[in-house]
Structure 1
Amino acid sequence: MPRDGTINRERILDAAQHLVIENGFAATSLDQVLTAAGTSKGAFFHHFDSKLDLGRALTERYAAADVAQLRWALEQVADVEDPAERVVAFVRCFEEAAEEIMSAQSSCLYVAVLTEQQLVGNGTTDLVTRAIEAWREEIARLLEAAAQDRGLDLGDTDALADHVFVTFEGAFLLCRSTGSPAHMRAQLGVLRRLLGAALGVRAA
């Protein structure tokens, strides 16, 4: 293990993320995290001051990965010349990665974080807000470019951008409630076709 303990810290965060997504933050005990991570309390407190500190670090890491995934998709479609087709291609990136997304997690950590008053109180949820705003800003930019290029009035592009983000969250809920991960791909496919129709993209 590296002398800075990076591997052990990541193992703790990995274990905590799985448990918090599955059970919620309050229902996840420190002992459960330690058992799942195969580490000790001494090792835990070397990296984290408290369970709340763990919650913040967990959210910070998750939000950073979430925004990185957004940037990845934007890079994938950067060379698509038609702005409207770029919007559709952006959604298709996630549609094609749906199985990978669902194999990595059964739900979204944001839901678990936002329902915990103690995490709201210590500012952890601000990390979630900033990530969501990053998604809104980038998707709205894609939509505005498409609307301008095709002479369309899409109305409130920020709200429409939020709807794209909300589709992910709703799909997680649907997958979780039905026990079928297939809903993620299905819902993203519906979103892609609706956006394609609204933007006049053929065979979207």
Structure 2
Amino acid sequence: MPRDGNPTRERILRVAERLMTDQGYSATSVDQVIAEAASSKGAFFHHFSSKTDLAVQLVERYVAADLAHLDAGLAATAHHTDPAARAVAFVRHYEDGADALMSEQSGCLYATVLAEREFTGSEINDQVAKATRAWRDALTDLLRPALAGRPDIDVEALADHLYTTFEGAFILCRTYTDPSAMRAQLRVYRQLLQALLGKEEADP
């Protein structure tokens, strides 16, 4: 996660992310965040003008980490010269890291804030859309040359489906109380992608 060098602000953001992801934005009070961060109202309002401002800064931080996660996947697969092989390897990168991801977080902050009517059309909505489009554009760029001979496939929709898989898998992990659901869903997406690309490979 990006850090600004201020341990108090970082501690408040870390606690707020956990609370809001676990119990929702509306159910999380400023007093609860302050108490669990072992902070004070003075310290909180030094860094955040309001609970909404906390949410805005929290989403900005989360988006930065999300885009870094995207960049890591692109960098890890940049050595592939075959477009189809790289597209599959890109998805496998996240499949292989799914257990570690779920050990770090129980859900997605995007779903938490987008469920709040007050954030519809807001800066927060714009920040989430920015990250979502970045994932779509990156995967579309990988998929388009790999699917050059398949004009029947909506490449952008296929790219968006990875985002949908992530979000749906978070819900399944909670529903079944089973963090391995994230890895399982990413594996299915990867297998379906392999089938579309005609790129068979042995599962580990």
Q: Which amino acid aligns with 1:159?
A: A
Instruction: Kindly state the Cα deviation for residue 164 of structure 1 after the two structures are TM-superposed.
Output: 1.2
Is the CA contact (8 Å cut-off) linking 1:52 and 1:119 kept in structure 2? no
Instruction: Kindly state the Cα deviation for residue 64 of structure 1 after the two structures are TM-superposed.
Output: 1.2
Corresponding residue for residue 186 of structure 1: 184
Corresponding residue for residue 109 of structure 1: 109
Is the CA contact (8 Å cut-off) linking 1:140 and 1:161 kept in structure 2? yes
Corresponding residue for residue 23 of structure 2: 23
Moved more, 101-110 or 112-121: 112-121
Q: How does 1:55-204 map to 2 (within 5 A)?
A: 55-120=55-120, 122-148=122-148, 151-153=149-151, 155-203=153-201
Gaps of 5+ in 1: none
Identity %: 51
Query: How does the TM-score come out when normalised to structure 2?
Result: 0.94
Distance 1:42 1:91, change over 3 A: same
Q: Over aligned residues, Cα RMSD in angstroms?
A: 1.3
User: Using the alignment, how far apart are the partners of 1:194 and 1:156 within structure 2?
Assistant: 14
Gaps of 5+ in 2: none
Instruction: Kindly state the Cα deviation for residue 123 of structure 1 after the two structures are TM-superposed.
Output: 2.3
SS at match of 1:124: helix
User: Using the alignment, how far apart are the partners of 2:145 and 2:41 within structure 1?
Assistant: 52
User: Using the alignment, how far apart are the partners of 1:122 and 1:86 within structure 2?
Assistant: 36
User: Using the alignment, how far apart are the partners of 2:152 and 2:85 within structure 1?
Assistant: 15
Corresponding residue for residue 7 of structure 2: 7
Is the CA contact (8 Å cut-off) linking 1:55 and 1:119 kept in structure 2? no
User: Using the alignment, how far apart are the partners of 1:90 and 1:72 within structure 2?
Assistant: 10
User: Using the alignment, how far apart are the partners of 1:201 and 1:137 within structure 2?
Assistant: 22
Structure 1: 4+ residue segments shifted above 2 A = 118-123, 151-154
Instruction: Kindly state the Cα deviation for residue 154 of structure 1 after the two structures are TM-superposed.
Output: 5.1
User: Using the alignment, how far apart are the partners of 2:5 and 2:182 within structure 1?
Assistant: 36
Q: Which amino acid aligns with 2:157?
A: A
Distance 1:173 1:95, change over 3 A: same
SS at match of 1:61: helix
- Tell me the alpha carbon deviations over residues 6-57 of structure 1, each in whole angstroms, 9 at most, x when there is no partner: 1110100000000000011011001110111110010001100000000000
Instruction: Kindly state the Cα deviation for residue 121 of structure 1 after the two structures are TM-superposed.
Output: 5.4
SS at match of 1:80: coil
What is the count of residue pairs matched by the alignment? 199
Q: Which amino acid aligns with 1:12?
A: I
